[in-house]
Amino acid sequence: MSTTMKDTADVSLEDARQLLIDLVSIPSPSGDEAEAAERLVEFFEVYGREAWLDEVGNVRAPADDAVLLTSHVDTVPGEIPVEVEPADENDLEAEVAENEGEDVLRGRGSVDATGPLAAMAAAAVRTGVSFVGVVREETDSRGARHLADERDEPDAVVNGEPSGATGITLGYRGFLAGTYVATSESGHTSRPEPNAIQHATNWWAAVEDAFEQDEYTPVFERVTAKPVDVDGGISDDGLSVEATLEAQLRIPPSLDAESVRETAEAELEIGTVSWAEPIPPVMESPRTEVARAFRVAIREEGGEPRLLRKTGTSDMNLYAGAWDCPMVTYGPGNSELDHAPDERLSLAEFDRSVEVLTRVATTLRGGDD
């Protein structure tokens, strides 16, 4: 879908901040995003933009597909009192430290990823580009999967996650989740034969050894294997011992999910493993038109661009697997505060990110800044 440059509206930084504060004030854990999504729809409608919720709950505001700005509406659980208060130097990104004394917003989602979401909504209205707020990124990425399956490919994508106002994220590791299950006959604990719990722990120790790297290998280039839940014990009928181990493995761009799965299964002697649908790794070039537009915009806003690779996984991985267009991830906030009990966002940094996104979207639409 294409629009002209007149299909834009002025959004002040004050109004963008108010949207941010409103959204952070609305609890929106995965699966319960509807109220926050409706607030986003209202924001677009106030500025004359058509917006609605699709069948999975995504906020859709299509316009010029020269670039799609998209971030997630949901947050992780956890109540943090929403407060705006003066910042100190520890609350600010180094590039905006001169704004000490400016306000900082505290609250769940202020960093991950309501800050990027609100900044993108404001920039989308300012520049007339497409916007989608997706649901359930923190759980199963249902919103992004639906979007990638159902929507036409845009010319470019900017995914919203915290990178700092000067950070441009080009790479993420992939993700593979598995469930190991084993059963053994019950018996007296004095017997030497291993039970199902030991089978589970032995398999996992072997998996960790299989992916072990030396300390000099960057984390981004390693497979990280983590158990996230273990359950085991005597069965209800008392006749067997059962064990279940939930595992997550992060996949570097040098590997794919199939090879990681094969390595893990090669260590399997007893028991079975079922795997969820994997999310592939992604590594974008710094020389795309999107990356170049960000470098120029960040410098024009007084910052020095930083190119980032992140060890986690984001919805950009899914978009890169579905669409053959340039993309990056960008947004205000310190990613070390993702999911943290003291999650907070400098409003000066938020303002700068709105301006950067506005410049980028204007450039990609072919308009004058």
Query: Does residue 135 share a domain with residue 185?
Result: no
Query: Does residue 254 share a domain with residue 213?
Result: yes
Catalytic residue among 33, 64, 65, 74, which? 74
215 is catalytic: no
80-102 average pLDDT score: 67
SS3 content of the chain, % helix, strand, coil (to 5): 35, 25, 40
Alpha-carbon gap, residue 230 to 207, rounded angstroms: 15
Q: How many domains does the chain have?
A: 2
Determine if residue 368 is left, alpha or beta; phi over 0 gives left, psi from -120 to 50 gives alpha, anything else beta: beta
Q: Are 355 and 301 in contact (CB under 8 A)?
A: yes
CATH at residue 143: 3.40.630.10
Two tokens at 144?
A: 């992004």
Among the listed residues 339, 315, 286, 353, the one whose alpha carbon sits nearest the alpha carbon of residue 70: 315
Each as own residue / partner, the long-range contacts of residues 231-239 (CB below 8 Å, 24 or more positions apart, any chain) are: 232/196, 232/197, 232/200, 233/197, 234/186, 235/183, 235/186, 238/186, 239/185, 239/186
- Write phi, then psi, for 227 (nearest 5 degrees): -80, 135
Q: Does position 192 have pLDDT exceeding 90, yes or no?
A: no
Domain span at residue 85 reads 13-172+281-365
Catalytic residue among 137, 161, 301, 338, which? 137
**What amino acid occupies position 58?**
N
137 is catalytic: yes
Query: Does residue 190 share a domain with residue 62?
Result: no
Residue 5 inside a domain? The answer is: no
- The predicted structure's pLDDT at residue 187: 76
Residue 338 inside a domain? The answer is: yes
Query: Does residue 195 share a domain with residue 147?
Result: no
As a whole number of Å, the CA-based R_g of the chain is 23
Q: Are 104 and 63 in contact (CB under 8 A)?
A: no
Query: Does residue 216 share a domain with residue 327?
Result: no
**What amino acid occupies position 366?**
G
In order of 53, 100, 160, 257, 276, the CA distances from 173 in angstroms are: 30, 34, 16, 11, 16
Residue with tokens 């999975």: 56
- The predicted structure's pLDDT at residue 1: 40
| Half-sphere CA count of 195, side-chain side, radius 13 A | 18
Among the listed residues 38, 37, 27, the one whose alpha carbon sits nearest the alpha carbon of residue 75: 27
pLDDT band at 87 (very low <50, low <70, confident <90, very high): confident
**What amino acid occupies position 83?**
E
Q: Are 353 and 164 in contact (CB under 8 A)?
A: no
- The predicted structure's pLDDT at residue 369: 47
pTM for the structure as a whole: 0.90
72-98 average pLDDT score: 77
268-275 average pLDDT score: 96
Indicate the Cα dihedral angle 46, 50, 55, 56, nearest 10°: -60
